[in-house]
Amino acid sequence: MIRGRASKFGDNISTDHITPGRLAHLRSNLPELAKHVLEDADPTFASRVEKGDFIVAGSNFGLGSSREHAPLVIKMAGVSAILAKSVARIFFRNAINLGLPVLICDTDNIDDGDELEVDLATGTVNNITKANQLTFGKLPEVMLRILDEGGLVPYIQKYGDFKL
């Protein structure tokens, strides 16, 4: 069970919004790069995000580049999971590979600041502020296992290979 506050974003938040190309020189200095997380979507986000917060977005979150730095800086900011109506393919896989849960659900009725409780095991989102409940789809088995191990690197350290 994870509990936190919703930070709301719109549709089509790209990897350039999250960590733009102009900051590519900071990609080997992750703490510095993380200070700019989502800067081009909301310049105040990095300073107000708190550990455990959820990113709640519309459709096609994370479209664009394959840069794994995008979910990485989101994770480093303390975000515990991303909830979106849909998520771009490469971003989705990258987030899971870093042990950052991505939940596909109808986010229309979640507002900025809502208090949420997510149960990964049952696939439910409890909106405490609104006193309602949402469900989200199940991940493929292989992704669940990678998530369970905390990401692809610990998964490979443990198994040394993919186990389907």
Partner 1 sequence: MGKTLAEKILSQKSGSDARSGDIIIARVDLAFAQDTTGPLTVRQFQACNLKRLADPKKTALFLDHAAPSPNRQISNDHRLLRQFAGETGCLIYDVGGGICHQIVAETLAKPGDVIVGADSHTVTAGGLGAFATGMGSSDVAIAFGLGKTWFRVPESIKIVLSGKFSRGVGAKDLILYLIGNIGADGATYKALEFGGDGVKNLTMSQRFTIANMAVEAGAKVGLFPTDSTTHDYLKSQGRGDHYQPLSADDDASYERTINIDLATVEPLVAKPHNVDNIAPARELKGTKIQQVFIGTCTNGRLEDIAIVADMLKGKRRHPETRLIVAPASPQVLLAAIRAGYIYSLVEAEAIILPPGCGACLGLHQGVLADGESCLSTANRNFKGRMGSPEAFIYLGSPATAAATALAGEITDPREVA
Residues of this chain that interact with partner 1 (CB under 8 A) are 12, 14, 16-17, 20-22, 24-29, 39-40, 59-60, 63-69, 71-72, 86, 88-90, 93-94, 97-98, 140-142, 151-153, 156-157, 161-162, 164
Which CB, 3 or 158, lies closer to partner 1?
Answer: 158
Q: 4 vs 62, which CB is nearer to partner 1? A: 62
Q: How far is the CB of 117 from partner 1 (least distance, A)?
A: 28
Contacts of 119 (CB under 8 A, 6+ apart): 1, 125, 126
Cβ–Cβ < 8 Å for 84, 57: yes
**Closer CB to partner 1, 90 or 118, in the complex:** 90
Q: Are strands 102-104 and 81-84 parallel, antiparallel or unpaired?
A: parallel
Burial class (CB in 10 A: 0-12, 13-18, 19+), 141: exposed
Identity of the residue, 85 or 130, whose beta carbon is nearer to partner 1 in the bound complex: 85
Supply the minimum distance, in Å, between the C-beta of residue 33 and partner 1. 11
Contact between 110 and 127 under an 8 Å Cβ cutoff? The reply is yes
